[in-house]
Amino acid sequence: MATLSFSNVKKTYPGGIEVIHDFNMNVTDGEFIVIVGPSGCGKSTLMRMVAGLEGITSGDIVIGDRVVNLLEPAERDIAMVFQNYALYPHMTVFENMAYGLKIRKLSKQEIEARVNDAAQILELTQLLDRRPRQLSGGQRQRVAMGRAIVRNPKVFLFDEPLSNLDAKLRVQMRLEIQRLHQRLKTTSLYVTHDQVEAMTLAQRMVVMNKGHAEQIGTPIEVFEKPASIFVASFIGSPPMNLIPVTVDANGSVQHDAGRPLQFQPDEVPATVRGKKVILGIRPEHIRLHAPGIEVVVEMVEILGSEQLVHARHGDTPVVLRCPVALTLKAPLRVGETIQLGMDDTHPLHWFSAETGRRINEQMA
């Protein structure tokens, strides 16, 4: 195991296309970090630079006590699990897991011991004589992880390993990856575009946007205090409601379309008064049929015991998550005008309309 650090890391492609902008982070020994963001944000490029599959334009990547910028992938003591499994179809499960160890010229006894130990951890012992075509998608992914485990690397790299699996298998594999990390405690870097994976797996997460780290923190920190409009709109299912408003000096709040919103003055921090800002409210922190925002219902999604109410306040979409039981006697109708209030047990979120960054919530 080892620490992993990034110091002023940049990546620029020919033509001056900068895809990673001055990235800095320290990963402690045994920590599980998830890098999450939309397609094209630079998350896979960042991982490939750690693996040695992409060169670094400037800055340093350090694994343990070694700067690895110029080291070949085989010299970095890392193991990578890919999206597409990358198994040899003509080899058995045992041979696939043992191949890298044979290349390193380990003894037959050592290879057998490592493969059998990994197979036991991943419940593959009964499948060691099968070939990849005889395995399910989840079993193939476990073999790919087993091939990484047997190397006993300093750092595990996971590049969207679950994206080819169906929804049920993804949930199962997330649990297996969590159990695997708790048992091995190997420093891990995990890349995904799925914010649910990020929230459930990460000890800390990095939210990437256009090559920048928008926010680094624990899942709870990122969810409860998003650092920017981008993070607020990306993390959460459904994401945070973002309403452009104007706040006067007395703390009165008005939608930019001219529609008033009802707030108590002490709910509005001094740092946003007299400004045009973006008000953020989580869908689950809105109360149905309470004074606050007047909206028109556009659609209702039933999710079992819960429902999502899609509505509109002027030109601004607003989503509410609430129990289905609240509307059993009086179901909501498309086109109906209703009132949505704020749950005062949860804080509101305020963002700068100019920069998109979170505003410090100093109360008046």
What tens-digit pLDDT sequence spans the chain (364 residues)? 689 999 999 999 998 899 999 999 999 999 999 999 999 999 999 999 999 999 999 999 999 999 999 999 989 999 998 888 788 999 999 999 999 899 888 999 999 999 999 998 888 999 999 999 999 888 898 898 899 889 889 999 999 888 888 888 888 888 888 988 998 899 999 999 999 999 999 999 999 999 999 999 999 999 999 999 999 999 998 999 999 999 888 888 888 766 667 766 567 888 888 899 999 999 999 999 888 888 999 999 999 999 999 999 888 999 999 999 999 889 999 999 999 988 878 888 999 999 999 997 654 4
Strands of 85-168, DSSP E: 155-159
How high is the pLDDT of residue 263?
67
Q: Which CATH architecture group holds 238-352?
A: Beta Barrel (2.40)
Distances from the Cα of 217 to the Cαs of 173, 213, 275, in angstroms? Answer: 24, 11, 28
Tell me the whole-structure pTM to 2 decimals: 0.89
The CA-based dihedral angle spanning residues 258, 264, 267, 269, taken in that order and rounded to the nearest 10 degrees: 60
Where in the sequence of the chain do the CATH 2.40.50.140 domains occur? Answer: 238-352
How high is the pLDDT of residue 188?
95
How high is the pLDDT of residue 187?
96
How high is the pLDDT of residue 265?
57
How high is the pLDDT of residue 357?
95
Which residues are within 8 A (CB) of 316 and not within 5 positions of it... i.e. 6 or more apart? 242, 243, 244, 255, 257
Beta strands at 253-255 and 286-302: parallel, antiparallel or unpaired: unpaired
The β-bridge partners of 275 are 247
How high is the pLDDT of residue 258?
65
CB 127 within 8 A of CB 93: yes
Which residues are within 8 A (CB) of 194 and not within 5 positions of it... i.e. 6 or more apart? 36, 162, 163, 170
How high is the pLDDT of residue 363?
44
Quickly name the fold that domain 4-229 has. Answer: Rossmann fold (3.40.50)
How high is the pLDDT of residue 364?
41
CA distance 226 to 198: 15
Where in the sequence of the chain do the CATH 3.40.50.300 domains occur? Answer: 4-229
Q: Is the peptide bond before 291 cis (omega within 30 degrees of 0)?
A: no
CA distance 185 to 174: 16
